[in-house]
A = this chain, B = another copy of it.
């Protein structure tokens, strides 16, 4: 190894240590719930419930008024704010705000990265996910919840090489060649998954609109299922959305109203292995068509296929991949280029 190479590696190690050691200084942190509505449930029998072992039974009348369909938001405000607007992070399906926290193998996620870059970050759990709580079904939600097996995300999120690539024995799993997902943390990722419904989109969008109405003009970074949420909320509040960053959006906005987004700078990022997947070529094509509609109306959409930008091996879970901070730096640079930093 040449001296220059060794010097470069040493410099990288020092930079890495320096970053880990730098404190995060917050002027404030906290949380709130927002949105939702009240519903009435009637005609059911009163139950007697012992809430704690050895506790005293309490009567619980299931009839009455319930709060449903709110969402949860946790915010971190840096002391030295450098983002021109707050940065809202919206997770994908079957997940929560944990998506943007520590990666499954214990590295820093995008929440910390963008906070360290001076963004006021609002990380949230969508309606019926995580700390948002969830409501009775079929009384309130009109479908049953979906649970994923340990194998499902491995084969569907472009970590493994498609169907039957998962095996309970990690040594026997067929990982896509060069994949950046931290497979040694896959068991931890599975623990991040939560049940989800497929009939709650309207409620979810309503709550996200309530969030942006409360926080004010913002940049929204959203992933996967939140593709349709990000674009649709921006169509509902075009004056309050200052930029859209779509990470592998699995859904889109209303194509008939694509022109509403023409003044919102938009970045769409796709990972690797799209072409060999059974579903992602079509999903990506939907996203590209929607971007084309925005551009046809005079809008600005930058599409980055990471492999074409020299960033290879990304799964669907870009923010958890081993090169997650490299992609974050690409996003940060794009935001700076759009004049969205102070």
**Known contacts A52-B93, A228-B53, A252-B54; A136/B147 CB under 8 A:** yes
Residues of B contacting A74 in the complex (Cβ-Cβ under 8 angstroms): 101
What is the bound-complex CA distance between A282 and B56, given in angstroms?
A: 7
**Known contacts A50-B198, A133-B191, A195-B133; A64/B150 CB under 8 A:** yes
One complex includes copies of this chain to the number of 2
In the complex, what's the smallest C-beta–C-beta distance from A283 to chain B, in angstroms? 6
**Known contacts A24-B29, A58-B156; A49/B146 CB under 8 A:** yes
Q: Kindly state whether residue A238 has any CB partner on chain B within 8 Å.
A: no
Q: Is the CB of A51 within 8 A of B225?
A: yes
Q: Is the CB of A66 within 8 A of B23?
A: no
In the complex, what's the smallest C-beta–C-beta distance from A274 to chain B, in angstroms? 13
Across the interface, A283 reaches (CB within 8 A) one of B56, B150, B193, B225, namely B56
Q: Kindly state whether residue A215 has any CB partner on chain B within 8 Å.
A: no
What is the bound-complex CA distance between A293 and B137, given in angstroms?
A: 45
Q: Is the CB of A194 within 8 A of B134?
A: yes
What is the bound-complex CA distance between A56 and B250, given in angstroms?
A: 9
**Known contacts A23-B25, A30-B108, A33-B192; A60/B150 CB under 8 A:** no
What is the bound-complex CA distance between A65 and B147, given in angstroms?
A: 11
- Chain A residues 8 to 39 lying within 8 A of chain B, measured CB to CB, are 20-21, 23-33, 36, 38
Most buried by B among A29, A50, A188, A252: A29
**Known contacts A25-B24, A33-B188, A225-B52; A98/B150 CB under 8 A:** no
What is the bound-complex CA distance between A14 and B274, given in angstroms?
A: 58
Q: Is the CB of A52 within 8 A of B168?
A: no
Q: Is the CB of B30 within 8 A of A102?
A: yes
Q: Kindly state whether residue A271 has any CB partner on chain B within 8 Å.
A: no
- Chain A residues 208 to 247 lying within 8 A of chain B, measured CB to CB, are 224-225, 227-228
Q: Kindly state whether residue A125 has any CB partner on chain B within 8 Å.
A: yes
What is the bound-complex CA distance between A67 and B148, given in angstroms?
A: 9
Across the interface, A25 reaches (CB within 8 A) one of B25, B97, B135, namely B25
Q: Kindly state whether residue A298 has any CB partner on chain B within 8 Å.
A: no
- Chain A residues 146 to 201 lying within 8 A of chain B, measured CB to CB, are 146-152, 156, 168, 187-188, 190-195, 198, 201
Q: Is the CB of B72 within 8 A of A150?
A: no
Q: A33-B192, A65-B150, A125-B130 are in contact. List 20 more A-B contacts (CB 8 A).
A: A23-B27, A25-B25, A26-B26, A30-B108, A30-B112, A52-B251, A56-B279, A56-B282, A56-B283, A58-B156, A61-B149, A61-B152, A62-B147, A64-B151, A65-B149, A66-B147, A72-B98, A96-B131, A133-B192, A133-B194
Q: Which residues of A contact B (CB under 8 A)?
A: 20-21, 23-33, 36, 38, 47, 49-56, 58, 60-67, 70, 72, 74, 79, 93, 96-98, 101-102, 106, 108-109, 112, 125, 130-131, 133-136, 146-152, 156, 168, 187-188, 190-195, 198, 201, 224-225, 227-228, 250-252, 279, 282-283, 286
